[in-house]
Amino acid sequence: MEDALAQFRGAKMADCVAALEARLGRPLPSDFVPRLRARTADTFRDRLRPVEEALDLVRATTGTICVASSGPPEKIMLSLSLTGMLRYFEGRIFSSYAINSWKPDPGLFLHVARSLGAEPQACRVVDDSLPGIHAGVAAGMTVFAYQPDGDDPNIPPGVVTVRRLADLQPILAAVRAN
């Protein structure tokens, strides 16, 4: 499980499929991705809960907040609705699938900044995946790596690592004050 999360968290599905096929030495079934997405949605409906302290952080955040995900829109909407966070992000949900740019490319984050009328250097990114962390850095944004299970040694210099989302509230307040 650790290896799978390290290799595939935040990655583009096509890249995940290619890596799996290379590892197996054969193509995956043609219905692999739709079946995986259906099973994921079923599992989310049964088990997905908000990350501890996520709702408190979202409620306490001032200014414009959004979701910028490499996932498909349906998955993003399902996740936000199941966790009770959809109402905080309505109208500000961005998917790589809509603009054909996946993390670690900064295109998604730069698109979000333009769409929201913000300069990239004024934006803050909170991400738990290396592709997302690298995308935020490449976009010139202030990046916070959410790493509840320990620091990934591949996190770039200058990225602030937090283990608990509650730790972000005072950090973000201090960043806004400067």
pLDDT, tens digit, for every residue of 44-69?
999 999 998 999 999 988 889 999 99
Residue 171 confidence class, pLDDT cut points 50, 70, 90? confident
Which CATH number does 54-177 carry?
Answer: 3.40.50.1000
Nearest 5°: the CA angle 174, 176, 177 is 65
Band the pLDDT of 11: cuts 50, 70, 90.
Answer: confident
Distance separating alpha carbons of residues 81 and 78, to the nearest angstrom: 5
Return the H-helix or E-strand segment holding 13.
helix 13-24
Contact yes or no for 172/124 (Cβ under 8 A): yes
Q: Which of 126, 164, 120 lies closest to 144, judged by CA?
A: 126
Give the integer Cα–Cα distance in Å for 139 and 178: 20
Percentage of the chain beyond pLDDT 90 is: 81
Going by pLDDT thresholds of 50, 70 and 90, the confidence category of residue 9 is confident
**Per-residue confidence at 177, pLDDT binned at 50, 70, 90?**
low
**What is the total residue count of the chain?**
178
**Residue boundaries of the structural domains of the chain:** 2-47, 54-177
What's the gap between Cα 119 and its chain centre?
Answer: 20
- From residue 68, alpha-carbon distances to 5, 82, 146 in Å are 19, 17, 15
Query: Rounded to two decimals, what is the model's pTM?
Result: 0.90
pLDDT in tens, 74-131: 999 999 999 999 999 999 999 999 999 999 999 999 999 999 999 999 999 999 999 9
